[in-house]
């Protein structure tokens, strides 16, 4: 069957236990979750959802870590996923950034409550008071007041921006709510955290995590930045590119689109063998296999301490037994209840790959599932394995995920039918030449609108892949047609005053657009 993209926005919701499930006969696997039993969980998912490749690790007390790869790295090629295949672990990288800061706290080089400006004097938010109040801790817990995905177009997809540009952009990003007033997931402040680590440690973020985290842990396959990969044993990327919109249709190979400036928020590439070691040291409260503490027990507790409430509900129901009563963000980790136990978990999503991990500290168990597809099947696999490990009432996660997927697909198709490829009524009020010009957003940079062969074109100057003709799409609005795997198409709207363009705003064409590509934080004005 055709699949449906579960984007990073939805992945965050699923990571809080939001999948619908239905009962099926229990398989008694908790005590003897051997390779055949794991295969029996993973393979039906891969068949049902046409998933090219999966990698799984399970860690638990008194047993060697289970690690295994399934399927192929890239559709159309024979290379198999094995335990050393590198995946982009995306936002799992945030926990490594938190751990890197914990090492610096242990060393007495900074404190969680230090103002950011103490270490980065040039740091600025839009509100001078917030600038002074923002602490190292605040960088990690998604309570800054910035809206979901603020600034992500600086690094998704990659362009000419560099990490230092974030410090220039931040004062121009408008908050969606008051400082520390609520939860809005962001990447941009983790990039600031990476710059802070570089400033305090005197070493680039990626080199610091490689030397101070990967090396002691024996994470031999891991690199801090995709650009540092020196192997062909790398998972490919796959997504459904339509028609009518991204998220629907057949799986196709897509290319990575993230750049190095996102590394501290989502740039680590690692194998499932690496992830096994990462979960083990997490569950051991920072203790290495040789008994040495990589980070102190005090910092281990700090990184798992809930900071920002992210979701609340009445708890599990018959149709949704994984729904959390309460979920919060800690330092690089989500913390929530899972079947009456505390779960420490995170998801990660990039173009063409989605990953999930979860730990139940009271049982000493952890699971990580890496996939090479832009869908969150890895979330359901993770939960199915956890359920078997704790001998929970069994549920048909395959059917439940298929049901959820189909419902979302139907809803998306209904919302775009007759709209995504049919222009709204109205059209340009100016001659096409009247829309031409250079326009600037203070945090993003410039776009150039010009005429070519009798058509309007738009070029996003810092992001070269965003280059497209503009088609009339309602009153003084136009739609893009970017290259097929370049990102989400946009609706570009021109504000007209006194017969001239006074401003330009954008929104995604598709209702399924990932939050990193929603364009809605942009506000361009003409460049004189």
Please give the pLDDT value at position 90.
97
DSSP designation for 305: S
Please give the pLDDT value at position 266.
97
Residues in CB range of 138: below 8 A, 6 or more apart = 116, 144, 180, 189
Please give the pLDDT value at position 17.
40
Phi-psi region at 340: left, alpha or beta (left = phi > 0; alpha = psi -120 to 50): left
Give the 3-state secondary structure of residue 346: strand
Lowest mean pLDDT among 179-188, 359-368, 484-493: 484-493
Residue 241: pLDDT band with limits 50, 70, 90: confident
HEC states along 446-488? EEEEEEECCEEEEEECCCCCCEEEEEECCCCEEEECCCCCCCC
Q: What is the mean pLDDT of residues 169-192?
A: 97
Helix extents (H) in 284-328: 297-303
Domain ranges of the chain: 3-101+200-414, 432-526
The reply to whether 3-101+200-414 and 432-526 are identical in fold is no
Q: Is the pLDDT of residue 326 over 80?
A: yes
Q: What is the mean pLDDT of residues 239-243?
A: 87
Distance CA 55, CA 39 (A): 11
Please give the pLDDT value at position 25.
30
Assessment of whether the complete model's pTM goes beyond 0.85: yes
Please give the pLDDT value at position 420.
61
Between 417 and 181, the more confident residue is: 181
| DSSP string covering 173-221 | SPPSS-TTSS----SHHHHHHHHHHHHHHTS-HHHHHIIIIIHHHT-TT
Please give the pLDDT value at position 148.
96
Q: Is the pLDDT of residue 301 over 90?
A: yes
Q: Looking at the domain that runs over 3-101+200-414, which CATH code has it been given?
A: 3.40.710.10
Residue 2: pLDDT band with limits 50, 70, 90: very low
Give the 3-state secondary structure of residue 400: helix
Q: What is the mean pLDDT of residues 222-231?
A: 97
Residue 244: pLDDT band with limits 50, 70, 90: confident
Please give the pLDDT value at position 439.
98
Q: What is the mean pLDDT of residues 219-229?
A: 97
Task: Give the tens place of pLDDT for each residue, 125-179.
Answer: 999 999 999 999 999 999 999 999 999 999 999 999 999 999 999 999 999 999 9
Handedness of CA 467, 262, 408, 309 (dihedral sign): negative
Q: Is the pLDDT of residue 103 over 70?
A: yes
Q: What is the mean pLDDT of residues 370-396?
A: 94
Distance CA 417, CA 229 (A): 42
Please give the pLDDT value at position 246.
79
Per-residue tokens: 21: 């499930």
Distance CA 457, CA 95 (A): 41
Residue 19: pLDDT band with limits 50, 70, 90: very low
Q: Is the pLDDT of residue 471 over 90?
A: yes
Please give the pLDDT value at position 23.
30
* Residue among 153, 140, 130 at smallest CA distance from 97: 140
Distance CA 473, CA 107 (A): 57
Q: Which CATH class is domain 432-526?
A: mainly beta
Q: Over the chain, what is the mean pLDDT?
A: 91
Residue 24: pLDDT band with limits 50, 70, 90: very low
Q: Is the pLDDT of residue 10 over 80?
A: no
The residue with tokens 């540092």 is 228
């Amino acid at each position: 069957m055709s699949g449906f993209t579960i984007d990073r926005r939805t992945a965050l919701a699923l990571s809080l236990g939001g999948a619908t499930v239905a009962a099926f006969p229990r398989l008694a696997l908790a005590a003897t979750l051997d390779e055949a039993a794991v295969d029996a969980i993973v393979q039906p998912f891969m068949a049902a959802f046409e998933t090219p490749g999966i990698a799984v690790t399970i860690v638990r007390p008194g047993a060697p870590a289970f690690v295994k790869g399934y399927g192929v790295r890239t559709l159309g090629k024979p290379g198999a996923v094995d335990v050393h295949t590198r995946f982009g672990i995306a936002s799992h990288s945030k926990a490594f950034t938190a751990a890197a800061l914990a090492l610096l706290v242990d060393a007495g080089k900074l404190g969680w409550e230090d103002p950011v400006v103490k270490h980065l004097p040039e740091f600025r938010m839009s509100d001078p008071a917030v600038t002074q109040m923002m602490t190292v801790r605040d960088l990690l817990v998604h309570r800054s007041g910035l809206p979901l995905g603020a600034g992500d177009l600086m690094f998704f997809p990659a362009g000419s921006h560099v990490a230092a540009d974030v410090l220039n952009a931040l004062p121009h990003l408008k908050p969606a709510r008051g400082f520390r007033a609520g939860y809005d997931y962001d990447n941009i402040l983790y990039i600031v955290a990476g710059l802070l680590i570089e400033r305090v440690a005197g070493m680039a973020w990626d080199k610091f995590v490689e030397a101070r985290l990967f090396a002691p842990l024996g994470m031999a396959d891991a690199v801090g930045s995709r650009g540092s990969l020196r192997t062909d044993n790398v998972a490919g990327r796959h997504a459904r590119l339509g028609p009518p919109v991204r998220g629907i249709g057949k799986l196709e190979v897509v290319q990575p689109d993230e750049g190095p400036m996102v590394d501290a928020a989502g740039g680590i590439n690692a194998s499932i063998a690496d992830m096994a070691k990462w979960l083990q040291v997490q569950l051991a409260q920072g203790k290495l296999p040789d008994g040495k503490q990589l980070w102190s027990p005090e910092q281990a507790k700090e990184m798992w301490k809930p900071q920002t409430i992210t979701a609340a509900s009445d708890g599990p129901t018959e149709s949704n037994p994984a729904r959390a009563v309460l979920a919060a963000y800690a330092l690089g980790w989500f913390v929530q209840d899972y079947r009456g136990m505390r779960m420490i978990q995170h998801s990660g999503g990039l173009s063409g790959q989605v990953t999930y991990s979860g730990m139940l500290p009271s049982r000493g168990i952890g699971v990580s599932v890496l996939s090479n597809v832009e869908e969150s099947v890895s979330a359901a696999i993770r939960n199915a394995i956890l359920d078997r490990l704790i001998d929970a009432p069994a549920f048909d996660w395959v059917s439940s995920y298929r049901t959820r997927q189909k419902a979302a697909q139907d809803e998306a198709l209904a919302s775009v039918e007759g709209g995504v490829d049919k222009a709204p009524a109205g059209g340009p009020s100016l001659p096409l030449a009247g829309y031409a010009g250079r326009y600037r957003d203070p945090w993003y940079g410039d776009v150039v609108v010009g005429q070519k062969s009798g058509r309007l074109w738009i070029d996003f100057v810092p992001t070269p892949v965003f280059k497209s003709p503009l088609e009339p799409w309602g009153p003084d609005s136009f739609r893009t047609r970017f290259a097929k795997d370049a990102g989400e198409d946009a609706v570009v709207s021109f504000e007209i005053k006194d017969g001239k363009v006074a401003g330009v705003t954008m929104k995604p064409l598709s209702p399924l657009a990932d939050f990193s590509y929603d364009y809605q934080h942009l506000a361009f004005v003409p460049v004189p």
